[in-house]
């Protein structure tokens, strides 16, 4: 097996989703092995290397199925920058993909590169020793240009609207600070396709490890699991010589936007709503929350009456898509913890819920129901802050500072990294969010679920 793909961020989702597609592709085309690169922690890549790239994928459905995947054949952790840089110069590398979460791209609230982000400040001062994905892509492309090689294709696989376009704009903006000629070459030569990825992937825990050990007899250190459903849509602009993704079920579409927006707003928006409301009520998993008829009914109305109208017209059957998602949420074999979904809320809310709010306001539709999960996030932050509990978020310190006060909702609404001024100062939305937060604080988290 050769190496044709470099992947930054080989976490559970990548290994359960993209690596599964590539593993099947390798059966007929062995040039697309994946080099796993971790910029922050050595744990996953070290464990992968110890197992020679092999690990178990458990497909959790009515009947659990197990597959052994072995798509990764090279492994790089922190401190191995020279090897990563040399690999990015290799003309055999055609795809450089990434799953580093929304926060990993160092973007500001408007989706542009945040030049004040500590990682970007570091990379501009040390361009040949980057720590960000933007810095690494720019360095790799600069080396390809200097060597007279064609650009590789950066393939963002994180949940952001227009993820390829945003990543390209960030890389070009960063490169402009380094070398305007390099920026112009990247803008002209490098293709950054938009993508949409979808499959519910719970965090790996000891229960999964025990299940894999009992069923397969293998003491796998890093198994992953996901639901049976999986989708991967890539903008149909890949250059010649790219992997034949379509042969393993990837959808190549002229415009990914419809799939992307539907997934972010319907699935991810509902997920975040279930997470914050469910955690306040006392549920632990998505399936637990969906077994709560009052909460499940609220989320279904939120999807069908408030989120879907903002996505129409669409080439997708959005109501059928919504039904499919609600059924997926009820899968009892998926122990998807609400606490995991609640992570990084400051980065997720703009894409998952606030975009729907903006469309509703622009269309003259009511935003009262959409304001409820936003207010639930505020109360969740307040609960964590007052208890001194961990807030998993890149803005954790600021969230904790705002969350401890009696005016937490008002203070959080003032965070421009989350709420753009035009939205936060909109009297209709402001009244709806602060009113919902006050009602739930006084009457409990179920206060507005009948809405």
pLDDT reading at 313 higher than 80: yes
Domain 257-443 is found in CATH 3.20.20.10: no
List strand residue ranges (DSSP E) for 164-315, in order.
Answer: 195-198, 224-227, 231-235, 251-253
pLDDT for the residue numbered 335: 79
d(CA 257, CA 242): 22
The domain locations on the chain are 3-253, 257-443
Query: Mean pLDDT, to the nearest integer, of 267-291?
Result: 97
The number of helix segments (H) and strand segments (E) in the chain equals: 22, 11
Whether 109 shows a pLDDT value over 80: the answer reads: no
pLDDT at residue 62 in the model: 79
Q: What integer pLDDT is reported at residue 160 of this predicted model?
A: 87
Q: At residue 110, does pLDDT exceed 90? A: no
Backbone angles phi, psi at 245, to 5 degrees: -60, -35
212-236 b/e (C-beta count within 10 Å ≥ 16 → b): beeeeeeebebbbbbbbebebbbbe
Q: Quick: pLDDT tens for 345-402.
A: 999 999 999 999 999 999 999 999 999 999 999 999 999 999 999 999 999 999 999 9
What is the pLDDT, as a whole number, of residue 332?
Answer: 87
257-443 has the same fold as 3-253: no
Which residues are bridge partners to 349 per DSSP?
A: none
Flag whether pLDDT at 242 surpasses 80: yes
pLDDT in tens, 434-449: 999 999 999 999 999 9
Residue 442 has what pLDDT?
A: 95
**Which residues, in sequence order, are CB contacts of 375 under 8 Å at separation 6+?**
409, 433, 434, 436, 437, 440
pTM, full prediction: 0.81
d(CA 170, CA 173) in angstroms, rounded, equals: 5
**Residue 96 to residue 137: CA distance in whole angstroms:** 8
* pLDDT-based confidence at residue 334 (cuts at 50, 70, 90): confident
Alpha helix stretches (DSSP H) within 17-115? 18-26, 43-50, 81-89
Instruction: State the chain's maximal CA–CA distance in angstroms.
Output: 66
**pLDDT for the residue numbered 130:** 97
CATH architecture, domain 3-253 = 3-Layer(aba) Sandwich (3.40)
């Amino acid at each position: 097996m050769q190496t044709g793909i470099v992947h930054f961020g080989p976490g559970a989702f990548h290994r359960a989703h993209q690596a599964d597609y590539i593993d099947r592709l390798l059966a007929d085309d062995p040039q697309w092995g994946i080099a796993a690169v971790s910029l922050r922690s050595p744990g996953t890549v070290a464990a992968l290397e110890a197992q020679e790239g092999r690990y178990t994928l458990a497909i959790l459905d009515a009947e659990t199925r197990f597959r052994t995947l072995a798509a990764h054949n090279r492994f790089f952790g922190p401190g191995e920058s020279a090897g990563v840089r040399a690999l990015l110069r290799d003309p055999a590398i055609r795809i450089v993909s990434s799953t580093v979460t929304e926060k990993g791209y160092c973007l500001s609230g408007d989706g542009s590169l945040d030049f004040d982000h500590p990682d970007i400040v570091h990379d501009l001062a040390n361009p040949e020793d980057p720590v960000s994905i933007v810095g690494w892509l720019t360095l790799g492309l600069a080396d390809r240009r200097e060597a007279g090689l064609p650009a590789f294709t950066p393939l963002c696989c994180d949940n952001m609207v227009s993820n390829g376009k945003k990543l390209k704009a960030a890389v070009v903006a960063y490169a402009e600070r380094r070398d305007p000629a390099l920026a112009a070459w990247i803008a002209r030569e490098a293709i950054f396709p938009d993508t949409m990825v979808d499959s519910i992937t719970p965090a790996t825990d000891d229960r999964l490890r025990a299940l894999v050990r009992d069923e397969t007899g293998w003491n796998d250190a890093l198994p992953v699991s996901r639901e049976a459903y999986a989708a991967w849509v890539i903008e149909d602009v890949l250059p010649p010589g790219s992997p034949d993704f379509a042969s393993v079920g990837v959808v190549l579409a002229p415009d990914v936007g419809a799939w992307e927006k539907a997934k972010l707003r319907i699935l991810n928006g509902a997920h975040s709503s279930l997470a914050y409301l469910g955690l306040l009520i006392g549920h632990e998993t998505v399936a637990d929350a969906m077994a709560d008829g009052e909460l499940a009914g609220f989320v279904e109305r939120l999807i069908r009456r408030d989120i879907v109208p903002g996505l129409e017209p669409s080439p997708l059957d959005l109501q059928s898509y919504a039904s499919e998602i609600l059924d997926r949420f009820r899968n009892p074999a998926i122990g998807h913890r609400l606490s995991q979904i609640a992570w990084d809320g400051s980065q997720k809310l703009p894409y998952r819920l606030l975009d729907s709010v903006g469309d509703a306001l622009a269309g003259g539709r009511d935003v009262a129901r959409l304001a409820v999960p936003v207010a639930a996030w505020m109360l969740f932050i307040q609960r964590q802050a007052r208890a001194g509990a961990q807030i998993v978020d890149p803005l954790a310190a600021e969230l904790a500072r705002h969350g401890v006060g009696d005016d937490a909702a008002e203070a959080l609404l003032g965070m421009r990294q989350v709420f753009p001024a035009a939205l936060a100062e909109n009297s209709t939305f402001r009244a709806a969010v602060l009113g919902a937060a006050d009602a739930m604080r006084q009457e409990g988290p179920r206060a507005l679920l009948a809405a």
